[in-house]
Amino acid sequence: MILDHINNPQDLKALPIDDLPQLAQEIRELIIKTTAENGGHLAPNLGVVELTIALHYVFDTPADKIIWDVGHQSYAHKILTGRKDQFATIRQPGGVSGFCSRNESEYDCFTTGHSSNSVSVAMGMAEARDLSGQDHHVIAVIGDGAISGGMALEALNHAGDLETPMLVVLNDNEMSINHNVGALNRYLSHIRSHPKYSRAKNNVHQALDHLPGLGKPLTRAISNFKNGVKSLLVPGIFFEYLGFTYLGPTDGHNIRELIEILRQAATIKRPVLLHTITVKGKGYEPAELHPHNWHGVEPFDITTGQPKSNNLHLTYTAAFGEALCGLAEEDPNIIAITAAMTDGTGLTGFKKQFPSRFFDAGIAEQHAVTFAAGLANAGKKPVVAIYSSFIQRAYDQIMEDVCLQKLPVVLAIDRAGIVGNDGYTHQGIYDLSFLLTIPGLTVMAPADARELRMMLRFALNSERPSALRYPKAQDRELPLVLPKIELGKAVILREGGDLCFFAIGSMVSVALDAAALLNKRGIQARVVNARFAAPLDDLMLRDCIASCHGRIITAEENVQEGGFGAACQMLLAHSGADITTAALPHDFIAQGCRVQQLEKYGLSAERLAEMAYNQWFRD
């Protein structure tokens, strides 16, 4: 095996180019085998194996800097940069990260996970290089989905203007997670479908540039004519107008061709955009055939392509999708919006059933939220479904365009809480804190899927902006009748006078279990399902203080600072109550198993019961 002898880019550079296709094959096999065991981003990684080899073959990393947008496609990069032997631990607790991480390797020069920032990062690093009189290369590798994100477009606009030498490699596989959307995508597909333009490009440039000039007016006319003809004939003219030298499109699986064009790009002392065409899922047939099913996968059987565990339990995501379809049947004003995460947010069924009322805004969380504000302003009932971590991008839009204007937009915030194997960049553990600062926003979290349905209906009937947050978890139905939702009203699920668990969302069932454990020790805990983090149920909190000797433990799957518990503490600041907040630490939390991490941070039934016992009942 060639790969046995490759531990870093220096080893790679010692290989003849003819060996590189075989190396690519071996890396692919390792990626497929490992992803089948651990799960991960299979299709994006299979598409960039040749590109990764070529980049490390031509450039001199880590002195030259490569920034992988999102970083979900960095597996081959990790294998080639000293992490081959740990690769089996990818996405596992304590193992190699599934994204690029500055903590992990000097070859990962930026920690990534959120899309569309690589051009900005690369540009900053390139400017700093020039200001410091250094001369290394800076390269951003960005997908055709990510390049349509607002940040990437802002950076392209700026980079072309500054003329700082840098290379943007556009990895165009015609896919985001689902099929790509938008006008830029149509433009790229136009270039892809006319490969002959590529070969013609240099000739066209040269021929036009050598047309003779005959006096000023004629020169202007000829110049206009040249630009007109170029825009018809030169691929990538859009990028050229932005100030980039456009190279390509080139076959992203032909290593020799890639090496040649990268060497050429490295000689150009201005911003260059290299457009490579790749196949998402390349080399594993099921992934090539259905790349969107293979973007991110759970462990699977390589021969059949079937997932190893068949999970038939209802997730909150599925419950949300079904509930929204049911409500949309009753109300034609309901509209669903995703930011490039149709499947992930459970909207696939809605898209099929109500195609004209479904919008995929692309990787554009900010735009998706303000687009919803526009719809709500004109009388529609928009529901924007976004993961907690990604909606961080739209904080300003929620504040200014939705809440300041009191528009009844519903934010359906999925993956709120610990997310598991994706780790640091994807944790949804800050949303309660940043949403609670916004005046006039109703913030809810359901205790089970039935309550999620009730809350969604409540939010859609509300005249205020609402946020509804729910975890990456399966439903565990509470064995209780749930009273109807009333704004800012909590409900008592279990009576007890020794202490009170005042819990929200996923922590309600955990608190019920903790109360059952305390009951075995003769301690009676009241359990309250808070339902709302804003507005808080002031009366209920004061009743709990009076009925439970002022002993309250709040519980939430969010960081401590600025969260639900902190809001309760603030509300009761002068009440004399003894409030303890059970929450996640104010930190960035690494990849791991959700259940184990909740246990570690004190958010399991055993740990909550222990907390109560140690605080008030140990003699």
The question of whether 457 is a catalytic residue gets the answer: no
Task: Note if 542 is an active site residue.
Answer: no
135 with 166: CB under 8 angstroms? no
Q: Which stretch binds ligand TPP (CB under 6 A): 137-145, 369-377, 444-452, 506-514?
A: 137-145
Q: Which is nearer to ligand TPP, 372 or 460 (CB)?
A: 372
Q: Which is nearer to ligand TPP, 293 or 575 (CB)?
A: 293
CA gap 243, 157 in Å, rounded: 8
Catalytic annotation present for 270: no
Q: Which residue's CB is nearer to ligand TPP, number 30 or number 279?
A: 279
Dig out the tokens for 510 from the structure: 């955990």
CB of 196 to ligand TPP, least distance (A): 25
Least distance (Å) between residue 45 CB and ligand TPP: 8
Tell me the C-alpha distance between 146 and 610, whole Å. 46
Q: Note whether 177 binds ligand TPP by CB under 6 A.
A: yes
Q: Which of 34, 35, 38, 73 binds ligand TPP (CB under 6 A)?
A: 73
Give the span between the Cα atoms of 115 and 67, in whole angstroms: 12
Task: Report, in Å, the least distance between residue 481 CB and ligand TPP.
Answer: 38
Residue among 24, 141, 166, 175 that touches ligand TPP (CB under 6 A): 175
Nearest Cα residue to 336 out of 356, 316, 314? 356
Query: How does DSSP classify residue 234?
Result: S
Nearer to ligand TPP, 173 or 317 (CB): 173
Would strands 166-172 and 410-414 be described as parallel, antiparallel, or unpaired? unpaired
Distances 314 to 450, 472, 476 between C-alpha atoms, Å: 11, 11, 9
- The encoded tokens of residue 423 equal 């780790």
CB of 426 to ligand TPP, least distance (A): 8
Check residue 90 and report its DSSP letter.
T
Residue of 35, 97, 115, 580 interacting with ligand TPP (CB under 6 A):
115
Query: Of residues 9, 143, 235, 252, which one binds ligand TPP by CB under 6 A?
Result: 143
Containing H/E element for 416?
Answer: none
Q: Which of 282, 351, 393, 551 is catalytic?
A: 393
Stretch that binds ligand TPP, among 174-182, 298-306, 467-475, 486-494 (CB under 6 A): 174-182
Give the binding range for ligand TPP (CB under 6 A) out of 127-135, 139-147, 477-485, 523-531: 139-147
- Select from 9, 39, 40, 44 the one that contacts ligand TPP (CB under 6 A): 44
DSSP state of 551: E
Torsion sign, CA atoms 405, 406, 408, 413: positive
CB of 48: closest distance to ligand TPP in angstroms? 7
Catalytic residue among 50, 240, 365, 556: 365
Residues 6+ apart with CB under 8 A from 366: 150, 393, 394, 396, 397
User: Which of 51, 259 has the CB closer to ligand TPP?
Assistant: 51
Instruction: List the interface residues with ligand TPP, window 384-413 (CB under 6 A).
Output: 390, 393
Contact 444, 455 (CB under 8 A): yes
For residue 249, state whether it binds ligand TPP (rule: CB under 6 A). no
> Binding mask 260-289 vs ligand TPP (x if CB under 6 A, - otherwise)?
--------------------x---------
Instruction: State the DSSP H helix or E strand holding residue 256, giving kind and residue range, or none if neither.
Output: helix 255-266
Nearer Cβ to ligand TPP (140/612): 140
Residues 6+ apart with CB under 8 A from 151: 116, 117, 119, 120
Within positions 144 to 173, which residues make up the interface with ligand TPP, using CB under 6 A?
144-146, 171, 173
d(C-alpha 386, C-alpha 251), whole Å: 34
Rounded to 5 degrees, φ, ψ at 404 are: -55, -35
Residue among 53, 156, 340, 511 that touches ligand TPP (CB under 6 A): 340
Parallel, antiparallel or unpaired: strands 491-494 and 166-172: unpaired
CB of 374 to ligand TPP, least distance (A): 21
Closest distance of CB 362 from ligand TPP, Å: 8
Least distance (Å) between residue 109 CB and ligand TPP: 18
Q: Which is nearer to ligand TPP, 419 or 490 (CB)?
A: 419
Position 505, amino acid: G
178 binds ligand TPP (CB under 6 A): no
Q: How many residues does the chain have?
A: 619
Give the nearer residue to ligand TPP in terms of CB position, either 327 or 336. Answer: 336
Q: Which residues contact 576 (CB under 8 A, 6 or more apart)?
A: 545, 550
Nearer to ligand TPP among residue 152 and residue 598 (C-beta)? 152
Structural contact between residues 394 and 419, judged by C-beta atoms closer than 8 angstroms: no
In the sheet with 525-529, reading across from the earlier edge strand, the strands are 491-494, 525-529, 499-503, 551-559, 578-584
**CB neighbour class for 233 (10 Å; exposed up to 12, middle 13-18, buried from 19):** middle
Q: Are strands 551-559 and 499-503 parallel, antiparallel or unpaired?
A: parallel
Q: How far is the CB of 144 from ligand TPP (least distance, A)?
A: 5
The residues annotated with a catalytic role in the active site are 280, 365, 393
Where do contacts with ligand TPP occur on this chain (CB under 6 A)? Answer: 44, 47, 70, 72-73, 114-115, 143-146, 171, 173, 175-177, 280, 295, 340-341, 363, 365, 390, 393
